Amino acid sequence: MSVNQNSNAVQDYEEVLAVVKGYVEGLKTGNVEQLKKTFHQDAVMYGHLQNGLSEGSIDNLYTYVAEFGKAPNIRTHLDVLHKTATTAIVRVEMESDAANEDFTDYHSLIKIDGEWKVVAKLFHLYQK
């Protein structure tokens, strides 16, 4: 009989969510340095904004936050959609960011040297 062992402990989910909560906190406070702790240095970001496709480096997010500042009224809900020992996908439902916009984000994370980092962010902007 094979071993029936759970490889997805609650602590693993908490570690993944802690990283994405750091992202939310960075948005809330307008702290780009906090955001940089969340993302891998080579992370990418893609999604549609009102003026077209936003694509490329995660630096685009840092520029957005630097421009619009903190989001004290932001509200979020986080879900780990799937997780393995070294990868995870997290959905972020977001209302009222710094530009008073609502988004759904999908963050792809990878565990490198024992630390979770977001390597890709896909987003959808809702019309208000």
At 54 the three-state DSSP class reads strand
**Predicted local distance difference test score (pLDDT) of residue 7:** 75
| Residue 106 structure tokens | 């999908």
Which pLDDT score, from 0 to 100, does residue 2 have? Answer: 65
pTM of the model: 0.91
Domain ranges of the chain: 10-125
Whole-number CA gyration radius for the chain: 15
Confidence at residue 21, expressed as pLDDT on a 0 to 100 scale: 98
Confidence label for 1 from pLDDT (cuts 50, 70 and 90): low
Q: Tell me: pLDDT of 124 over 70.
A: yes
- Tokens encoding 84: 């393995």
The domain defined by 10-125 folds into Nuclear Transport Factor 2; Chain: A, (3.10.450)
Span 9-66, pLDDT tens digits: 888 899 999 999 999 999 999 999 999 999 999 999 999 998 999 999 999 999 999 9
What pLDDT, in 10s, does the model give residues 70-102?
A: 999 999 999 999 999 999 999 999 999 999 999
Residue 52 falls in which region: left (phi positive, over 0), alpha (psi -120 to 50) or beta: left
pLDDT given at position 128: 82
